[in-house]
A and B are shown apart, each in its own frame.
Chain A
């Protein structure tokens, strides 16, 4: 216990990086995933083929492979660009982990978005067409409100696994929550306490997210009030 309290600053730093990484790549992958999912849902053939190839290849590759590949190939480019001087955002490890996690999760989100869009009944779309709504109006008023409430559980579980997957960024040396714990127990030999503490923190965050999503599922209109 003593070692945890002494090193709590490092653990908090790691936790901060984990949460920032999860949030940022969650937002990015949501945007990318919606674009990809719409591209695969659309009737324009080149868009469909390109997005299908990206989605299917990404979904059949392990995330670790993806992270390491992005790190090894993109870090020279990222180093030459070097926009951020900040100690978190400026590190190559953070940037490559962010790119890899966003791309990887966006493929999964694209599939969720596509299946949500496909689950909207054809009758509704036909009725909207008959009323004279154009593509964007159909999406905005008919398809999306229906699809989003059906996509919500799958989306939340995808975000939970994204947060869990940030622990894999430790392979390229990003000092996030798992790696900071590792660094501490490599010095103090207190694996038991630190690993159990880390597991508990992850559990609390992820289980909390799943509880919130369960409550939202029971009251789907809360989402609309929140601005979705």
Chain B
């Protein structure tokens, strides 16, 4: 019979907290970077310039069709050969932001596609340039529509941040895995780990719901 004993987890409390800090740091930094990158890529895709379109399409397709683990290894193990050396944590942040940035740009693009053409034409007719049209007219409307999808991308990012443990960053998952493997307290450690990730993603889901309600414009609901 298996005796449930949480004292082992309590002993590893400090390590867990340190790991949680690392996880939070990695996910926060990379969600900001990924969002900025996603918006930038969406802007480039929106410009009437074929060169930018090709470049951004290549980036998005490559980032979406290569496993995150391979991208992480590429940045961690291959970039140093070309003179780009980062600390493991920064590698994780860069890989996660590049990976999630592509997904976010796809989400934003689907939002941009739902904005009618006339909005853009009216903005150009009023004398706004591309930059102004994007950031003052189309983008604010597009982002409202895609807030739930964006939230799920950020939740995915938090879950994917557990992959940084593959390049020896001591995050929550690493602490839990090591604890479970060393002490054979598998159920306790994994229960705590699952709870931590569930709380984190639940928090993001809560923020998404609040934002969705706050930013809703009546009469502008999306027709499904």
Using a CB–CB cutoff of 8 Å, the interface residues on chain A facing chain B are 57, 60-65, 68-69, 72-73, 119, 160, 164-165, 167-168, 170-171, 178, 182, 185, 191-192, 195-196, 198-199, 202-203, 206-207, 210
Sorting the interface of chain B by its residue count into under 10, 10 to 19, 20 to 34 or 35 or more gives 35 or more
| B182-222 near A? 1/0 per residue, CB < 8 Å | 00001100100110011001100000000000000000000
What's the minimum C-beta distance from A3 to chain B, rounded to whole angstroms?
15
The reply to whether B70 and A198 form a contact with Cβ atoms under 8 Å apart is: yes
Which A residues are CB-close (under 8 A) to B69?
167-168, 170, 178
The reply to whether B67 and A195 form a contact with Cβ atoms under 8 Å apart is: no
Residue B141 at the A interface, CB < 8 A?
no
Residue B122 at the A interface, CB < 8 A?
no
The reply to whether B162 and A62 form a contact with Cβ atoms under 8 Å apart is: yes
A167 in contact with B67 given A65-B162, A68-B177, A73-B186 (CB within 8 Å):
yes
Which B residues are CB-close (under 8 A) to A191?
73, 77-78, 81
A196 in contact with B78 given A62-B197, A207-B61 (CB within 8 Å):
yes
Residue B160 at the A interface, CB < 8 A?
yes
| B41-78 near A? 1/0 per residue, CB < 8 Å | 00000000000000000000110111111110110011
Identity of the chain A residue whose Cβ is nearest the Cβ of B155 in the assembled complex:
A60
Using a CB–CB cutoff of 8 Å, the interface residues on chain B facing chain A are 61-62, 64-71, 73-74, 77-78, 81, 155, 159-160, 162-163, 165-166, 173, 176-177, 180-181, 186-187, 190, 193-194, 197-198, 201-202, 224
The reply to whether A199 and B66 form a contact with Cβ atoms under 8 Å apart is: yes
Complex Cα distance A202/B62, Å?
A: 10
The reply to whether A65 and B190 form a contact with Cβ atoms under 8 Å apart is: yes
A63 in contact with B65 given A57-B198, A68-B177 (CB within 8 Å):
no
The reply to whether B197 and A65 form a contact with Cβ atoms under 8 Å apart is: yes
The reply to whether A65 and B186 form a contact with Cβ atoms under 8 Å apart is: no
What's the minimum C-beta distance from B32 to chain A, rounded to whole angstroms?
20
The reply to whether A210 and B65 form a contact with Cβ atoms under 8 Å apart is: yes
Which A residues are CB-close (under 8 A) to B165?
64
Complex Cα distance A57/B181, Å?
A: 23
